Amino acid sequence: MTEPTQTAPTQIWPADLAARYRAAGYWRGETFPAMLRARAADHPDRVAITSGEDQLTYGALNARARALGAGLLALGLVPGDRVLIQMGNAPCFFHAVFAAFAAGLVPVYALPAHRRTEVTHLARKAQARAVLVQGRIDRFDHAAMMMGLRADLPALAHVIVAGAAPEGALDMDAIAGDPASLPPDPDPQAVAFCQISGGSTGLPKLIPRSHDDYFYSIRASNDICGITERSVYLAALPVAHNFTMSSPGHFGALYAGGRVVLCAAPMPQIAFPLIAREGVTITGLVPPLALLWLDAAQKARPDLPTLNTLQVGGAKFLPESARRVAPLLGCRLQQVFGMAEGLVNYTRDDDPDEIVTGTQGRPISPDDEVLILDDAGAPVPDGQPGNLLTRGPYTIRAYHDDDSANARSFTEDGFYRTGDIVIRLPSGHLVVQGRANDQINRNGEKISAEEVEDLLLGHPGVFDAVVVSIPDARLGERACAFIQPRGDAPTPTEIRKYLRSREVAAFKIPDEIRMVDGFATTAVGKISRRQLRETLRADVLSELDPST
């Protein structure tokens, strides 16, 4: 079977807005390969990345990226080709990503938690010609998984492995070519890479980000977060996550000529000594991890004199917890509310404490247009909850190759419907209230209720399934699946085993599984799944708290 012909990812703003963003100095024509080259020329011997005992200088990173990039082209890849990258918090991620940039290849980032189902989907959607994968991450054999899915991906020419390569795969460390064969720097308006969306329907969507738009977000984030060449950023969350990458993240630190410290696991026992040893100045966490750090700090007051800022984002951080950060960790809290599609909000250093603990910040840019609308599309006044829509110099106008998602997610005049319900304060700060659609934010990992329902329906013993989010003290939200069985009811253990056999990311396996006789219908027929989810959720909530 041949794959359908698809065009390369693009991201196009209307000419008048593009001109305005350029005139305002947001889009400056910076590109990723040029950025690393310039830093390496300015300070070749400065350490860019620390990983355990390994120190990678700017000069060495740039040299290896260029040799590897040239080697990738020598394999027959051509600039513009997409390469899927699945790597953990290890130096190979930076080698692979900057090699792709040097060669004009377009990385598509998969998360370490992604398994066959997600990886196949992303590679197919992107028509990836190569995957670059870390052999093992946390004991899972990613190289073997990639070899196993080659047959499903006719466009995929090469599996390239950092670490021990199985037969039929290429050893990334052995690939090198002549940097003289590298292409000229890309058009700054071209797509630099594809991020992926958590999404509320189906599998992850591809988010094409241009050099120009992403560099604006990084540069402005650096300004807001005070990142300089003296900054040391601890990458505790996965490096492929948009938060860790750009808010201001590791790319922000590298842009400023600072240093990135890679954290193998974000547990306080590992992170605290690392922060002390490496003089980390800033790091970012999702709320459940922040809670772990706070509890650990309460028990054994760590001495972290260099840590200025703890950023918390990806899911709602409650004010009660937010107030504990400064006293327990001795640093400033910064709330970050962002999305891989673009818009990022930060609380600022000079915001009053109650804004820092009680809001999710305000947008980066004066040109981030923010609308708060009711369900009928009418603006709601400040202080009232409504749907957040946005448009601006670093927010995408379309997903890659997904007409129905684009029709749902963007208005005719190019506003992105975030799916978030927020309140705007007169100061412009946003307070996130929840989601309008059926997405579960578990530990900062976004799960589409619809995708899990669809997977459950594949089990022969499942007649119908509805998945809802339930508030959870540890995870923020957890997933609860209601299953109407067909014939003999499968046990929750069987259901979990079945989902694992479908090779999906483990975080998508529901935390709770309940069997029900059937689902409510109305007199006029079946009620919408959305209504059904709301009703079931309300039932669980009233069980948890009988007073509501």
Using CB under 6 A as the criterion, which residues of the chain lie in contact with ligand DBH when the complex forms? 242-243, 246-247, 313-314, 336, 338-340, 344
3-state secondary structure of 342: strand
Per partner kind, with CB cut-offs from 5 to 8 A, the member of ligand AMP, ligand DBH, none near residue 186 is none
**DSSP states along 489-510:** PPPHHHHHHHHHHTT--GGGS-
- As measured in angstroms, the least distance from the Cβ of 167 to ligand AMP is 36
Rounded Cα gap, residues 359 and 357, in angstroms: 6
Tokens representing 318 are 């409650």
Per partner kind, with CB cut-offs from 5 to 8 A, the member of ligand AMP, ligand DBH, none near residue 432 is ligand AMP
- As measured in angstroms, the least distance from the Cβ of 209 to ligand DBH is 11
Per partner kind, with CB cut-offs from 5 to 8 A, the member of ligand AMP, ligand DBH, none near residue 344 is ligand DBH
For residue 482, give the nearest of 516, 459, 530, 439 by alpha carbon: 516
Nearest residue (beta carbon) to ligand AMP: 198
Per partner kind, with CB cut-offs from 5 to 8 A, the member of ligand DBH, ligand AMP, none near residue 81 is none
Per partner kind, with CB cut-offs from 5 to 8 A, the member of ligand AMP, ligand DBH, none near residue 56 is none
Per partner kind, with CB cut-offs from 5 to 8 A, the member of ligand AMP, ligand DBH, none near residue 316 is ligand AMP
- As measured in angstroms, the least distance from the Cβ of 101 to ligand AMP is 22
Per partner kind, with CB cut-offs from 5 to 8 A, the member of ligand DBH, ligand AMP, none near residue 246 is ligand DBH
Nearer to ligand DBH, 165 or 196 (CB): 196
Nearer to ligand AMP, 461 or 471 (CB): 471
Nearer to ligand AMP, 69 or 199 (CB): 199
Burial of 120 (0-12, 13-18, 19+ CB in 10 A): buried
- As measured in angstroms, the least distance from the Cβ of 247 to ligand AMP is 9
Per partner kind, with CB cut-offs from 5 to 8 A, the member of ligand DBH, ligand AMP, none near residue 247 is ligand DBH
- As measured in angstroms, the least distance from the Cβ of 259 to ligand AMP is 25
Rounded Cα gap, residues 544 and 548, in angstroms: 9
Burial of 518 (0-12, 13-18, 19+ CB in 10 A): exposed
- As measured in angstroms, the least distance from the Cβ of 243 to ligand DBH is 4
Phi-psi region of 127 (alpha: psi -120 to 50; beta: other; left: phi over 0): left
- As measured in angstroms, the least distance from the Cβ of 360 to ligand DBH is 9
Rounded Cα gap, residues 398 and 431, in angstroms: 26
Interface positions with ligand AMP (CB under 6 A): 197-198, 242, 313-316, 335-340, 360, 418, 420, 432, 435, 441, 446
Nearer to ligand AMP, 360 or 395 (CB): 360
- Residues 6+ away with beta carbon under 8 Å from 280: 232, 233, 234, 261, 274, 304, 306, 307
- As measured in angstroms, the least distance from the Cβ of 395 to ligand DBH is 11
Handedness of CA 291, 297, 298, 300 (dihedral sign): positive
Rounded Cα gap, residues 334 and 37, in angstroms: 31
Nearer to ligand DBH, 335 or 357 (CB): 335
Nearer to ligand DBH, 62 or 246 (CB): 246
3-state secondary structure of 177: coil
Q: Which residues pair with 476 in a beta bridge?
A: 472
Tokens representing 516 are 């029900």
